[in-house]
Amino acid sequence: MRRLAAAMVVALCSGYTVAGAAQGARNIASLAGIEGVEIFVEQMSPAQEALGLSERVIRADVELQLRRAAVHVLSQVDQCGVLPCLYVHVTTTPAQGATASFVHVGLQQLVSLSRDTSVSLSVETWHALGRIGMAPSSQTAERVRDAVRNEVDQFITAYLDANPRR
């Protein structure tokens, strides 16, 4: 029961909602015509690094996965901005020898307001369903990496559905 409560706290602190989860499928159209994506992995905290999590390793995993699926990876910049950006965020919370985690992968794009096209914003236009997990602390890094791979697989599927190869 405590583990479930901890996982729910992680999800709630991450801003994950059931309504938000449902939006991924209907926003596949927002991926049409994208020629590639930049990858941005949110900075890991010292506590996450102590668990074996690393921005560098997660980024390398995501980049390899995208390249294998023939999704072009654009050059990395300091933060998501003008280029379509696949954003990866990991939240972890310790819970009595275990660690609860939440993984979020979404695509941010520069969009313009229909009522005033001079106003452009970087907005998340697609996201995977999100993964909540609980694992012994010694297994957290590998479980989180698996969750990220699963989320990126959802992106790849949506991207390829929106951009069929000719």
**pLDDT value for 130:** 92
- Confidence grade of residue 8 (pLDDT, cut at 50, 70, 90): very low
Specify which residues 39 forms β-bridges with: 86
Q: By mean pLDDT, which of 12-16, 119-123, 150-154 is the weakest?
A: 12-16
**pLDDT value for 80:** 62
Residue 110 vs residues 7, 26, 78, 84, 123: alpha-carbon distances, Å: 32, 19, 16, 7, 6
**pLDDT value for 15:** 45
User: Which of 116-122's residues contact partners 24+ apart within 8 Å by CB, and which partners?
Assistant: 122/80, 122/81, 122/85
What is the pTM assigned to this prediction?
0.81
Q: What is the CATH number of the domain that holds 136?
A: 3.30.160
Neighbours of 143 (CB within 10 A): 17
Residues spanned by the domain of 12: 2-162
Which stretch of DSSP H or E encloses residue 88? strand 85-95
Q: Total domain count for the chain?
A: 1
Token pair in block for residue 83: 């280029």
Token pair in block for residue 4: 């479930």
Q: By mean pLDDT, which of 8-22, 70-84, 149-163 is the weakest?
A: 8-22
**pLDDT value for 81:** 62
Closest by Cα among 157, 125, 114 to 26: 125
Residues whose CB is less than 8 angstroms from the CB of residue 161 and which lie 6 or more positions away in sequence, other chains included: 28, 31
Q: Select the more confidently predicted residue: 81 or 134.
A: 134
23-44: average pLDDT: 85
**pLDDT value for 88:** 97
Q: By mean pLDDT, which of 10-19, 37-46, 71-80, 91-100 is the weakest?
A: 10-19
**pLDDT value for 73:** 94
**pLDDT value for 134:** 94
**pLDDT value for 18:** 38
* Distance between CA atoms of residues 103 and 16, nearest Å: 10
Specify which residues 107 forms β-bridges with: 86, 126
Angle between helices 140-162 and 18-26 (to 10 degrees): 40
